[in-house]
A and B are shown apart, each in its own frame.
Chain A
Amino acid sequence: ETAVFQTPNYHVTQVGNEVSFNCKQTLGHDTMYWYKQDSKKLLKIMFSYNNKQLIVNETVPRRFSPQSSDKAHLNLRIKSVEPEDSAVYLCASSYPGQGDSDYTFGSGTRLLVI
């Protein structure tokens, strides 16, 4: 099956802890993304990697850091989580450029910080 796979589905943690989310795509896409979807369902881009190189690094807090070992994997680490980090984190992938720019999203990791 070709798709975008995220783990874990849910994660509950306490303020100040470190968490790490994994994302893998088997679509052969060159570019991967992390988006944050808040409680109002607004999707905001956080990071993007094109072939292991960071392309976009929106103004997210420094406690967030992306990690990529190859173009099929893009993980997200959060050091010292805060309550406002509670959200759904969506990983996506696409081909760059025109012609086939649709994103394929994973099912998301729901983070709850207590």
Chain B
Amino acid sequence: QQKVQQSPESLIVPEGAMTSLNCTFSDSASQYFAWYRQHSGKAPKALMSIFSNGEKEEGRFTIHLNKASLHFSLHIRDSQPSDSALYLCAVSILLSGSFNKLTFGAGTRLAVCP
């Protein structure tokens, strides 16, 4: 069964800092790798996703995937107080040819202080 682990559990950074969040997974057949963000009392929302090795940048956010190391990460440049939230990494494999089952990590709670 897929195991997804995140580190650190929580993080406090000053405004403007670079933030790095990590995620490891156990199933080398995994095909979809994503970060979700959940603000307090709200629904988790997809932030970024990647399917192949390498990097993908969208604004201040960069996702980096290394399938051989079973690891991917999220980097937030110029962190803002509005980035304060629970960050969930998620990994999926395709089942029955077309269905993807998403397994989530336990989350990293990020606080960005002004």
Binding site for B on A (CB under 8 A): 4, 31, 33, 40-45, 48, 50, 55-56, 90, 94, 96-98, 101-108
* A98 and B34 alpha carbons, distance in the complex (Å): 13
Residues A105 and B43 in contact in the complex (CB < 8 Å), given A41-B86, A43-B104, A98-B31: yes
CB-CB under 8 A from A4, the residues of chain B are 43
* A43 and B100 alpha carbons, distance in the complex (Å): 16
| A45 pairs with B101, CB closer than 8 A | yes
| B51 pairs with A55, CB closer than 8 A | no
Residues A97 and B106 in contact in the complex (CB < 8 Å), given A48-B101, A108-B43: no
| B104 pairs with A96, CB closer than 8 A | no
* A33 and B38 alpha carbons, distance in the complex (Å): 18
Stretch in B20-28, B57-65, B67-75, B90-98 touching the partner: B90-98
Question: What's the tally of chain B residues with a CB closer than 8 Å to chain A?
Answer: 28
* A41 and B10 alpha carbons, distance in the complex (Å): 13
Other than A42-B104, A43-B88, give 11 A-B pairs with Cβ distance below 8 A: A41-B38, A41-B106, A45-B101, A45-B103, A55-B95, A56-B99, A96-B99, A96-B100, A103-B102, A105-B45, A107-B42
| B101 pairs with A56, CB closer than 8 A | yes
Q: 1/0 contact trace for B37-61 toward A, CB 8 Å?
A: 0100011111001010000000000
| B46 pairs with A102, CB closer than 8 A | yes
Among B36, B42, B44, the most chain A Cβ lie within 10 Å of the Cβ of B44
Residues A55 and B46 in contact in the complex (CB < 8 Å), given A97-B94, A98-B32: no
* A48 and B103 alpha carbons, distance in the complex (Å): 13
| B107 pairs with A41, CB closer than 8 A | yes
* A102 and B50 alpha carbons, distance in the complex (Å): 10
* A44 and B104 alpha carbons, distance in the complex (Å): 7
| A50 pairs with B99, CB closer than 8 A | yes
| A104 pairs with B88, CB closer than 8 A | no
* A45 and B104 alpha carbons, distance in the complex (Å): 9
Among B51, B90, B101, the most chain A Cβ lie within 10 Å of the Cβ of B101
